[in-house]
A and B are shown apart, each in its own frame.
Chain A
Amino acid sequence: EVKLVESGGGLLKPGGSLKLSCVASGFTFSNYWMHWVRQAPGKGLEWIGEIEYDGTETNYAPSIKDRFTISRDNAKNTLYLQMSSVRSEDTATYFCTTLGVRGDYWGQGVMVTVSS
């Protein structure tokens, strides 16, 4: 059974930092580009970034570029999202996903709330 399980969410203040994790199982993690997608409360989906199979290439949405960093550890089947200099508009549920036809796998999401 394919599983993506996010963790690490919570409440933090503006300007703070947080690291999300996503543990994958049931498929060959290292064969997939991985993505983070977020959804603010009551709003639509926003793609925020991706990482290549071995982590050598990353791409980010302008809204989070230079503040967030995506990394992965294929030995641990784990994807990461390091969030820094967070703002209130980063409040959202964060999903990790393979995104796309090779395998449409999604986690259940983890909530991050940025508030003073």
Chain B
Amino acid sequence: DVVLTQTPVAQPVTLGDQASISCRSSQSLVHSNGNTYLEWYLQKPGQSPQLLIYKVSNRFSGVPDRFIGSGSGSDFTLKISRVEPEDLGVYYCFQATHDPTFGGGTKLELK
């Protein structure tokens, strides 16, 4: 199993600030085809998850450009600049390079 470790578990923020979430994998997420299938999802309170970022750094349709994914190999980061109220919730990284797994989640909450 590929284990994805997210830090921090909770990220208190002030609206308008930047937030950063780390996702580290127990093994490289580079597929044999050269792609890296690392995604980021946001689950808002009481809702189903929604895709934000795919293949490390590509924003899904309709996702604002304040969401920036980066990283390579086994070390990835999601940065959210200028946090807005609708950004609050739990963020999950997810890998589909190997048998799929989710990270443990990071709760973005108000200070």
Contacts and interface: CB of A to CB of B under 8 A. Distances in A.
Nearest to A95: B48
Nearest to B105: A44
A62 interface: yes
* Interface core residue of A97, A100, A109 (most chain B CB under 10 Å): A100
Contacts of A106: 48-50
B39 to A, nearest CB: 7
Contacts, number: 51
Nearest to A108: B48
Interface stretch (A7-15, A16-24, A45-53, A84-92): A45-53
A46 B49 contact: no
A interface, how many residues as a size bin?
20 to 34
B48 A100 contact: no
B96 interface: yes
Contact of A104 (B60, B90, B102): B60
Contact of B104 (A44, A62, A108): A44
B48 A46 contact: no
Contact of A100 (B39, B43, B99, B105): B39
B97 to A, nearest CB: 12
Interface string A32-50: 0001010000001111001
Contacts of B103: 44
